[in-house]
Structure 1
């Protein structure tokens, strides 16, 4: 179906009326970061210094307190969002998960989120997290510098497969490649745990074509739109040949933003998706229905 308009919201203030024009109750964002303040400060310090590493500055657009950022999301019409942390070394996941549980209790519109790392005891604390009602996990292959098919993760993958709990997995080689990033390590995991509900973060950038193909091959693999197609990348051909392949995957593309760690207005992520011209029904599914269905929200 052709879109009514390929003009999306240019500013955050324009986002609520745009969602209303689509007949949506709001926005469902599966890729938002809320972390313990000490951890978030280190993440922001990384992005503050990322200019030389990435060849461009990376100003944090929403550098405010937790309370202010929650209010910002609400004002923009974001009804549900994840609160992702990601363990970057052994021994920190339980600390992060405890803070995330407290955050979920304070803000019930957020998804109860958690993380894990390939380490002895990972299966035990993942089991405890599931007992506490965790709804989504985040794992970051690039930052954690671990292999997705590390044998220490076998019991974790098996447990999450049984429970059918989604995992937002950053496995692509952006913004900088890692020793274990890319499609093949994830493919090896899926060869053994084929019913995992993986949400490939950032559309798998820059290996988008490979990760889109992986989603086409595995009916439980999903993709999130985080930072895909945005003008920040300039004249980037990463997405050549990908857009049309997102049409048959309409029910498995989820909206993600990377809020607050983005160097542009939040609404721009919606604007560039509308610009693709894939249709209002596609936008409705991506912006709301797919996330609501996956996480059981009405």
Structure 2
């Protein structure tokens, strides 16, 4: 039996839905059953919802009972290392044979993972898992295409989005691609001791992103480059905490230092998953970018 944690988050939901599409049973760990129900997870055939909290190992007995392989996802918070470390210990105690760590790897060439607290935490957790005595695999996607949906209201209202990246490239990957790879990895097993990086199929500047959204929606969209200070004010105004804004400042600073981005499609190819181009993603969400959804 397979367990997916973080099942109500962006990637967790996509992966659980991929299991349902493929008519394959999966167990999903949720902290809040009401949130899982609101997301429609309780209506998916073959999906067994189990309540538990990765931070509290004493709540994980039912979730880990009979589990052979687990996909470990949790929210990027200041206690992520401790949360996932406790969960790894619980998996080992429960006799889980294989743990897949949903990690992250920036696409920018030469990016120093230690400069951004969450990529640093991911690497700390990876090392802890590698020493835990279980089979392990790291799935390491880059930035998600879906982050641009946060800018959809501004794009719909102003025909523009505001970031502080200048001409820096990123290689965003579609969360649906990640879900397909994760499903096949969990279903088929193997890849013990491997780190599987994923990017999208193109290295794009923000002007390139704007052009593709324009192409998808049939209306002009432009990228407005702002200062890091203005970007931070916008983040705080949107309700993001000061601590999380600090973390995003770290990420931005390192991206600006490393403006060229790699494209890495070996993991897509290994699992027979076609890499989604950004314009195709934008067409799929054209109603949202146009303010119609």
TM range (shorter): 0.3 to 0.5
More strand by share: 2
Provide TM-score, normalisation by structure 2. 0.37
Higher alpha-carbon Rg: 2
Provide TM-score, normalisation by structure 1. 0.36
